[in-house]
Amino acid sequence: MTGILEFVVLAFILIGAFFSLVAAIGVVRLPDVYTRNHAASKSATLGVMFILIGTFLYFAAEGHTNTRLILAIVFIFLTSPVGGHLINRAAYYTGVNMWDQSVRDDLREKVGYGKRKSPEDTGGKIS
């Protein structure tokens, strides 16, 4: 394995690890389920795609082109945002409260039911 290709693989893997770590910090520190899902479904997806592209380049340089790895990259790129959307939608419809300092809830006029406390109810202050 030559030097420049090793450098490229390492760059992809390090960028992917950085994005995965940023996603974990976001999941730990963000205030409600919607913002946590925002961190987890975008940044973690980008991180794992970078790491898989680095892995694919490593094995392609070894002389083994693995097409199932490309299929895994495409599949994760398609399904991880869909999974994030599904669980976020389920959280909204089962009445999970938003962060107490968020200012708008436009979907509530369309849905119109539930025990959710919106920012419009109390003038932006929710205990």
Partner 1 sequence: MFNILLYAVLVMLSLSILGYVYRLIKGPTIPDRVVALDAIGITLVSITALVSIVMETNAFLDVILLIGILSFIGTAAFSKFLAKGVIFDRDRNS
By CB under 8 A, residue 107 contacts partner 1 = no
> Which is closer to partner 1, CB of 53 or CB of 119?
53
Considering only 9-17, 99-107, 108-116, 117-125, which stretch makes contact with partner 1 by CB under 8 A? 9-17
Considering only 90-98, 100-108, 114-122, which stretch makes contact with partner 1 by CB under 8 A? 90-98
**Cα Rg, the chain, nearest whole Å:** 20
By CB under 8 A, residue 111 contacts partner 1 = no
By CB under 8 A, residue 79 contacts partner 1 = yes
Per CB under 8 A, the list member of 8, 61, 72, 126 interacting with partner 1 is 72
Write the CA distances from 69 to 43, 54, 75, 80, integer angstroms.
Answer: 20, 11, 10, 16
By CB under 8 A, residue 119 contacts partner 1 = no
